[in-house]
Amino acid sequence: MKCEELLRELDFTCIRGSLDREITEVVYDSRKISEGCLFICICGYNVDGHSFAKEAAEKGAAVLVVQKEVELPEESSTAIVRVEDTRYAMAFIAAAYFGHPADRLKVIGITGTKGKTTTTYLIKSILERAGYRVGLVGTIETIIGERHIPAENTTPESFLLQQYFKEMEQEGCQIVVMEVASQGLKLHRTQGFTFEIGIFTNLEPDHIGSNEHADFEEYQACKGLLFQQCRLGIINKDDVHAEAVLKGHTCRVETYGFDPEADLYAENLKLVNKPGELGIDFVVKGKKIEDTGFRVEVPSPGRFSVYNALTAISVCRHFQVEIPQIQKALLGAHVKGRIEMVPVSDQFTLLIDYAHNAMSLKSLLETLREYQPKRLVSVFGCGGNRSRLRRFEMGEASGRMADFTIITSDNPRFEEPLAIMGDIRTGIQKTEGKYVEICDRKEAIAYAIDHAQPGDIIVLAGKGHEDYQEIRGVKYPMDERVLIAEILKERAEGRS
Task: Sketch out the chain's domains with CATH numbers.
Answer: 3-97 (3.40.1390.10), 101-332 (3.40.1190.10), 340-495 (3.90.190.20)
- The letter for the amino acid at 37 is C
* Sequence-ordered list of residues with C-beta below 8 angstroms from that of 70, at least 6 positions apart, any chain: 41, 50, 53, 54, 64, 80
Q: Is residue 212 over pLDDT 70?
A: no
59 near 33, Cβ under 8 Å? yes
Number of C-beta neighbours around residue 68 at 10 A:
11
Residue 108 dihedral angles phi and psi, to the nearest 5°? -110, 120
Read off the pLDDT band of 209 (50, 70, 90). low
Q: Is residue 358 over pLDDT 80?
A: yes
For residues 337-356, give the mean pLDDT. Answer: 94
Q: Is residue 210 over pLDDT 70?
A: no
Tens of pLDDT, residues 416-440? 999 999 999 999 999 999 999 999 9
Tens of pLDDT, residues 257-304? 999 999 999 999 999 998 888 999 999 999 888 888 999 999 999 999
Q: Is residue 216 over pLDDT 90?
A: no
Tens of pLDDT, residues 132-162? 999 999 999 999 999 999 998 889 999 999 9
**Which pLDDT score, from 0 to 100, does residue 211 have?**
58
Tens of pLDDT, residues 389-410? 999 999 999 999 999 999 999 9
Which is it for strands 13-16 and 79-82: parallel, antiparallel or unpaired? antiparallel
**Which pLDDT score, from 0 to 100, does residue 276 have?**
83
Read off the pLDDT band of 359 (50, 70, 90). confident
Of the candidates 64, 57, 62, 69, the one whose C-alpha atom is nearest the C-alpha of residue 80 is 64
Tens of pLDDT, residues 365-392? 999 999 999 999 999 999 999 889 999 9
H helix or E strand, kind and range, residue 351: strand 349-353
Read off the pLDDT band of 214 (50, 70, 90). low
Average pLDDT, the chain: 94
Q: Is residue 213 over pLDDT 70?
A: no
Q: Is residue 199 over pLDDT 90?
A: yes
- The torsion of the CA quartet 327, 333, 339, 345, rounded to 10 degrees, works out to 100
Q: How many residues appear in the chain? A: 496
**Which pLDDT score, from 0 to 100, does residue 205 have?**
60
What span, in angstroms and rounded, lies between the C-alpha atoms of 197 and 129?
20
462 near 381, Cβ under 8 Å? yes
* Sequence-ordered list of residues with C-beta below 8 angstroms from that of 350, at least 6 positions apart, any chain: 276, 341, 342, 344, 448, 449, 452, 458, 460, 484
What span, in angstroms and rounded, lies between the C-alpha atoms of 34 and 121?
38
Task: Give percent of the chain with pLDDT exceeding 70.
Answer: 98
Beta strand ranges found along 357-411 (DSSP E): 376-380, 404-407
**Which pLDDT score, from 0 to 100, does residue 183 have?**
86
Q: Is residue 207 over pLDDT 60?
A: no
